[in-house]
Amino acid sequence: MKVSIIIPIYNVSSYLTNCLESCIHQTFSNLEIICVNDGSPDGSLAIIKKYKQKDNRIVCVNKQNAGLPLARKSGIEVATGDYIFHLDGDDNLPLNAIESLVAVAENSKADIVIGDFYRIENNRKTMINSEINTVLNSTSYLRYLLERGLFNIWGKLIKRNLYIQNPIEFPSHIIMAEDLVACFQLARFAQMIIASHTPCYNYYMREKSMSRTKKKVIGELTNRSIHAVCYITHYYEINRMDNKLQLSLEKYLANFLYSYLCSPYAISLHEERLRYLNSRISNSYIQTINNKLKRTALCLAKIDLKWSKALMRMVIFILRLKR
């Protein structure tokens, strides 16, 4: 079995050496390490070229900057492995990461093998368990993505044929939560998804990373990820996917819309998209929500999104005064 590690690279020269070192010293050696330099101006290309001279398993794809989704696509297009493993250039791998995942893949013949990972912030290391203890099929994995929220594309072995044999899109305008867009499409075609409970990825919460979850950026994350949420909602509808997903999707959309109502961003920024998402949440689902404030806000949103937003602003203002 051969594994293609795909690394999209843009302005990560400070971390790239550690990233590449962790790849070339993997205990599993049948690798190709595809470095996609996405027009990075910071010297990353020179680092890639240096390592390419040291290790002939390294493949360099040098392209003009076009964003993360298209960088991943460029790597997939030149990959020759049986499985693909996505790795971000500012992260790195435990040395037995690929070997652990391959052992599960060879034994199960799974389409996707999901690894646990370490989240590292300020030198504090926390293991994140996928909590998957059974074999999942397409529908159960789609529900998992919506309900558990672990939709990172990195840290997984993914059969290359899932990309080759199916119409997987890489929307270039979606730069936040593009992982969700990719995983949602792949999950539709995957028949067997299984977990390996060996940590196989070191994910660093960088101070400047937009994916960190500190309170001061929650609103911006919601604002920037709305395109991805609209994409998967539309994708669900046009592909007439399993009706068993309906409740999970409604719950996901309700949580997302409520987060936006609580954020500092105005309805007018994305009014058409917010109305679209709101229309996909049924009144019957809203009535099942236990949180009274959330239920009230979403009920009011059905009447007028801007009124609902005004309500949440007032509530947040009052709560701040009480602190």
Tens digit of pLDDT for each residue in 258-281? 999 999 999 999 999 999 999 999
Rounded to an integer, the average pLDDT of 183-212 is 86
Contacts for 72-76 with beta carbons within 8 Å, 24 or more apart? 72/6, 72/8, 72/36, 72/153, 72/170, 72/182, 73/170, 74/36, 75/4, 75/6, 75/7, 75/8, 75/34, 75/36, 76/6, 76/160, 76/163
Of 186, 183, 182, 180, nearest to 222 by C-alpha is 180
How far is the C-alpha of 182 from the C-alpha of 76, rounded, in Å?
13
pLDDT in tens, 120-134: 998 899 999 999 999
> What is the model's pLDDT at position 217?
40
How far is the C-alpha of 242 from the C-alpha of 176, rounded, in Å?
26
Residue 206's pLDDT band (cuts 50, 70, 90) = confident
Per-residue pLDDT at 64 exceeds 80: yes
Average pLDDT, whole number, for the chain? 93
Rounded to an integer, the average pLDDT of 159-172 is 96
Distances (CA, A) of 253 to 36, 170, 268: 34, 22, 18
pLDDT in tens, 11-58: 999 999 999 999 999 999 999 999 999 999 999 999 999 999 999 999
> What is the model's pLDDT at position 220?
60
Residue 237's pLDDT band (cuts 50, 70, 90) = very high
Note the residue count of the chain.
323
> What is the model's pLDDT at position 221?
66
> What angle separates helix 178-189 from helix 138-148, to the nearest 10 degrees?
160
- Compute the radius of gyration of the chain from its Cα atoms: 21
Q: Bigger pLDDT: 317 or 197?
A: 197
